[in-house]
Amino acid sequence: HNGATHDLVGFLGIHTELLSDSIMGLVESGAVTGRLKTRERGRVATTFAMGSADLYEWIDDNPAVMLLPVDICNNPLVVAEFSNFCAINATMQVDLLGQCASESIGHHYVSSTGGQADFIRGAVEGNGAKFGDEFFGGLEDGGFESSSA
CA pair distance 93, 79, nearest whole angstrom: 26
Is 17 considered catalytic here?
Answer: yes
CA angle (115 as vertex; 99, 44 as ends), nearest 5: 125
3-state secondary structure 75-141: CHHHHCCCECCEEEEEECEECCCCCEECCEECCEECCCCCCHHHHHHHHHHCECCEEEEEEEEECCC
CA pair distance 9, 2, nearest whole angstrom: 11
User: What mean pLDDT comes out for the span 132-142?
Assistant: 48
pLDDT of 65 > 90? The answer is yes
CA pair distance 44, 23, nearest whole angstrom: 9
Tell me the per-residue pLDDT of 107-127, one tens digit each, with 9 for 90 and over. Answer: 887 777 678 778 888 888 887
Give the single-character DSSP code of 37.
-
CA pair distance 83, 134, nearest whole angstrom: 21
Torsion of CA 55, 33, 44, 26, to 10 degrees: -30
- Considering only 33-42, 44-53, 139-148, which range has the smallest mean pLDDT? 139-148
CA pair distance 16, 20, nearest whole angstrom: 10
Residue of 17, 81, 103, 145 marked catalytic: 17
Confidence tier at 135 by pLDDT (50, 70, 90): very low
pLDDT of 2 > 60? The answer is no
* More confident of the two residues 94 and 3: 94
